[in-house]
Amino acid sequence: MKPESPALLRHYIGGEFVASAATFDNIAPVDGRLLSRVSEADRATVESAVAAARRALSGPWGKMSVQQRSAMLHKIADGIEARFDEFVAAEVADTGRPVHQARSLDIARAITNFRTFADLAACANSDAFEMPTADGAGALNYTVRKPLGVVGIISPWNLPLLLLTWKVAPALACGNAVIAKPSEESPTSATLLAEVICQAGVPAGVFNLVHGRGADSAGQFLTQSAGIDALTFTGESRTGSTIMKAVADGVKEVSFELGGKNAAVVFADADFDAAVAGVMRSSFTNSGQVCLCSERVYVHRSIYDKFVTAIKQKVQALRIGFPEEADVDMGPLISHGHRDKVLSYYRLAVEEGATVVAGGGVPVFGDARDEGAYVQPTVWTGLPDNARCNTEEIFGPVCHIAPFDDEEEIIARVNDSKYGLACALWTTNLSRAHRVARRIHVGLVWVNTWYLRDLRTPFGGVKLSGLGREGGRYSLDFYSDVANICIKL
């Protein structure tokens, strides 16, 4: 029997699905099979999307009230809900993650992103400032929010729909028109989103989707377009720096969520079992492919040996498998290319003198998964803090565990990083939690938990981990131009 041709994923521009002559392959990380061919946008295609977005701003979209836009965002959320299983299947096929994770985290959060920003935008207030004047009559200042205009959105593959909608939802809520460029590694859920947005009745050109790679492809063309007003990006720090240079001449607004080399710190007074469970989550969730994951774990010397033993046992018990297995803990990495990078660190760690406590290689299954991009979850000890494996973002299921002796020492060691995204502290001492949390130089500190998200809170990093904050009103601020109106009374 002739095999069915793989699907062709198309761009969505000006309300139409359009294909390009050039395509690239979308490969399943579970077993290396071809999932689809994906249209690759050239510069002209990207410019046509930018032009469609510009036109949309002066069409019906530009005249809608925030309440009408908010209702439209809820319709998009309804549309994702109605096709929930298709979205789950798309995310699972592109990334190989466990189905239970795609259901409870990725797709559920995409829906929440739309509903949250629909409600926040509809309830947003403006500021007013009364001021005295020499004549005694005074003046009144008040602020108004306007859309930024045309916003370029470039998103990564690690939480594809979650991170794309984290930007699309507030951008639309604030009245902008967008061009979204999802990662070439995970194009499918974004294409489904375009279908849902089309069916929800969002006017043509308000949401545009272009597929392609980064350098010398759709990503770079989007950043170089004179027609965009702002660019928001999640991905690697080096890419953020390249994008910043690309938009510098036009002095475009940017918002960057970049990499991390995050620490987890377990104090002697921590609830031991909760800390072990928490570090297992923070180091191995999504095969370590979350910018918030802890790759550096510091444990107080008095409980260090016991902690390493407990983590070793838990890591060796992790179930690596097919996404559909109900009890699977970990899927593959996103691609063979990314696996090569992670495995290069597995080798480097040994060269740098690490003790491999668990993992360190590639699992052998004896089935189709051997063609996939799996690695073993891995734990190291014995490296100095300045080893490359302790300073560079690996983005895999791996952590290094080191002992520490006192509070001042550990604050200094955690802060000694070119990154500054997130940190998890494990302690039952409330004073210590407050004292240490505010001295860690990162954008996000969790105490006795990890990756607990309230979407109203500011999200982002310092140093190489990013620029600006998104979340709640911080997103509304980024995706709006705030103008002040001063009236002399």
Ligand X SMILES: NC(=O)C1=CN([C@@H]2O[C@H](COP(=O)(O)OP(=O)(O)OC[C@H]3O[C@@H](n4cnc5c(N)ncnc54)[C@H](O)[C@@H]3O)[C@@H](O)[C@H]2O)C=CC1
The helix/strand/coil state of 38 is strand
Query: Smaller CB distance to ligand X: residue 116 or 239?
Result: 239
* Rounded Cα–Cα distance for residues 396 and 288 (Å): 4
- Give the footprint of ligand LM24SWP5 on residues 342-381 (CB under 6 A): none
Query: Between the CA of residue 41 and those of 3, 38, 187, 216, 366, what are the distances in Å?
Result: 27, 10, 13, 10, 39
Give the one entry of ligand X, ligand LM24SWP5, none that residue 236 binds, where binding means its C-beta sits below a cut-off of 5 to 8 angstroms depending on kind: ligand X
**Residue 323 per-residue DSSP state:** T
Looking at the chain, how many residues does it have? 489
The residues facing 379 across adjacent strands are 358, 399
* Rounded Cα–Cα distance for residues 232 and 443 (Å): 17
Region from 29-37, 189-197, 236-244, 352-360 binding ligand X, contact rule CB under 6 A: 236-244
Among 1, 134, 137, 215, binds ligand X (CB under 6 A): 215
| 338 contacts 369 by C-beta, under 8 angstroms | no
* Rounded Cα–Cα distance for residues 279 and 449 (Å): 9
Among 95, 158, 335, 417, binds ligand LM24SWP5 (CB under 6 A): 158
Query: Smaller CB distance to ligand LM24SWP5: residue 307 or 446?
Result: 446
The CA-based dihedral angle spanning residues 430, 436, 439, 442, taken in that order and rounded to the nearest 10 degrees: -90
Among 151, 159, 179, 228, binds ligand LM24SWP5 (CB under 6 A): 159
Query: Smaller CB distance to ligand LM24SWP5: residue 345 or 450?
Result: 450
Does 107 bind ligand LM24SWP5 (CB under 6 A)? Our answer is no
Give the one entry of ligand X, ligand LM24SWP5, none that residue 208 binds, where binding means its C-beta sits below a cut-off of 5 to 8 angstroms depending on kind: none
Query: Smaller CB distance to ligand LM24SWP5: residue 307 or 479?
Result: 479
Dihedral sign, Cα of residue 241, residue 247, residue 251, residue 257 = negative
Catalytic residue chosen out of the listed positions 47, 185, 253, 257: 257
* Rounded Cα–Cα distance for residues 267 and 269 (Å): 5
- Give the footprint of ligand X on residues 300-339 (CB under 6 A): 338
For 67-216, strand residue ranges (E) read 128-131, 139-147, 150-154, 177-181, 207-209
Identify whether 392 is a catalytic site residue: no
Does 291 bind ligand LM24SWP5 (CB under 6 A)? Our answer is yes
Q: Tell me the site size for ligand LM24SWP5, rule CB under 6 A.
A: 12
Query: Smaller CB distance to ligand X: residue 235 or 471?
Result: 235
Among 185, 257, 295, 329, binds ligand LM24SWP5 (CB under 6 A): 257
* Rounded Cα–Cα distance for residues 122 and 68 (Å): 9
Give the one entry of ligand LM24SWP5, ligand X, none that residue 91 binds, where binding means its C-beta sits below a cut-off of 5 to 8 angstroms depending on kind: none
The helix/strand/coil state of 481 is strand
Tokens describing residue 476: 């509304």
Spatial CA neighbour of 362 closest among 348, 349, 350, 377: 377
Q: What angle do CA 185, 190, 191 make, to 5 degrees?
A: 105
Does 163 bind ligand LM24SWP5 (CB under 6 A)? Our answer is yes
Among 395, 446, 478, 479, binds ligand X (CB under 6 A): 395
Interacting residue ranges for ligand LM24SWP5, rule: CB under 6 A: 156, 158-159, 163, 166, 234, 257, 290-292, 453, 459
Interacting residue ranges for ligand X, rule: CB under 6 A: 154-158, 181, 183-184, 213-215, 219-220, 223, 234-236, 239, 242-243, 258-259, 291, 338, 341, 393, 395
